[in-house]
Amino acid sequence: MSETTLTSAADAASPARPRLAGRGALIGGIVLLALFAVLPPAATAMGDPFLVVTATRIVIFAIAALSLDLVLGYGAMVSFGHAAFLGFGAYAVVILAAAGIDDLLLQSLAAIAGSALFALVTGAISLRTKGVYFIMITLAFGQMAYFFFVSLSAFGGDDGRTLQHRSTLFGAPLIENDVTFYYIALAVLAAAFVLLRTVVASRFGRVLRGTRDNRVRMQAIGFAPFGYQLTAYVIAGALCGLAGVLLANQTEFVSPAFMTWQRSGELIVMVVLGGMGTLTGAIAGAVGFLVLEEVLSGLTEHWHIVFGAIIVLLVLYTRGGIAGLFSRLFGGRA
């Protein structure tokens, strides 16, 4: 099948949806990454080093939200077990560190491999269902992973385990410095953004979007959606596992709490808040969610009520999420 035919079929599957790679969303993503890049000097000028720590957490969760947007925004797969991959990445750090392997690259490879394998097995089963059944089965697999790590008493069980130090890079303690670690995490975010934009703009991405919008139509023109969805699920799981490696090093603590269904729910809110199926929205959603959380928690102990109301209003009255705002500001479509 020709590329033109495939593109037409994917677009015709749901003509109401915006086309991919809108200039506004792309420019918005570049602007966000540029702002992240100049944040450490700004924090130094403001005399607030804690700002870098907070920004590092935002960058890491932006990577996790990006990975979820691939399956949720482009594949219409609502996974309530996505945070399990964060846990696999975090525990790859603590388990390998206990075995004397402290290198960040080796830990990252192990996390990617472990998360991808878990995604392959669970995705192959979960994708045989759809709708609410898919949601429930991913939730079940996520909870199974959670209770598995709770049972690992050698690694702290339910209480978790503190890392003795951050991972090394090329044998040197480079990421002990918060600013250096921040820029490494930002480089991973930028690479993930470029990689996923390339994926969703490819033939593979067009099939995935066409399946999201009209599965029957894509089957009718000769595509088997299962393989494409499973591949996307594995890519998303592997990328989220990498975010887990960074999260473990940022907190210097690993716990099964990283992989609860509530954490998966937070990632879903980030994607929806930012704008599903835009990638830029996933980054913006992570920024908006965590900044709101940080600000409101400092104002009142009942911040959850205010936070929930703000999220509801944003979702109801911000068409296309935060990415929709970028598109209207910079032109083009999300």
Percentage with pLDDT > 90 across the chain: 56
Is the confidence at residue 83, as pLDDT, over 50?
Answer: yes
Is the confidence at residue 108, as pLDDT, over 90?
Answer: yes
| pLDDT of res. 246 | 96
Split into its structural domains, the chain has a count of 1
| pLDDT of res. 9 | 47
What the block records as the tokens of 107 is 């830990």
Judge whether 294 lies within some domain: yes
Residue 276 to residues 60, 71, 161, 184, 309, Cα–Cα distance (Å) = 18, 10, 35, 26, 20
Is the confidence at residue 258, as pLDDT, over 80?
Answer: yes
| pLDDT of res. 23 | 63
Which of the four pLDDT bands, split at 50, 70 and 90, describes residue 221?
confident
Could you report the per-residue pLDDT of 284-314, keeping only the tens digit for each?
999 999 999 888 888 888 888 888 888 888 7
Judge whether 316 lies within some domain: yes
| pLDDT of res. 16 | 39
| pLDDT of res. 41 | 87
**Span 209-216, average pLDDT:** 88
From the list 74, 78, 77, the residue with the least C-alpha distance to 10 is 74
Supply the range of the domain harboring residue 75. 21-329
Q: What is the CATH number of the domain that holds 314?
A: 1.10.3470
Judge whether 7 lies within some domain: no
Judge whether 41 lies within some domain: yes
**Cα–Cα distance, 294 to 311 (Å, whole number):** 14
**Span 53-81, average pLDDT:** 94
Q: Which positions ≥6 away from 180 have C-beta within 8 Å?
A: 174
Is the confidence at residue 261, as pLDDT, over 70?
Answer: yes
Judge whether 246 lies within some domain: yes
Judge whether 2 lies within some domain: no
This prediction has a pTM of 0.89
Torsion (CA) 214, 125, 260, 96 in degrees, nearest 10: -120
Judge whether 193 lies within some domain: yes
Could you report the per-residue pLDDT of 5-62, keeping only the tens digit for each?
454 444 444 433 444 345 666 777 888 889 899 888 888 778 777 889 999 999 999 9
Is the confidence at residue 228, as pLDDT, over 60?
Answer: yes
Q: Which positions ≥6 away from 44 have C-beta within 8 Å?
A: none
**Span 251-265, average pLDDT:** 93
More confident residue, 44 or 72: 72
Judge whether 9 lies within some domain: no
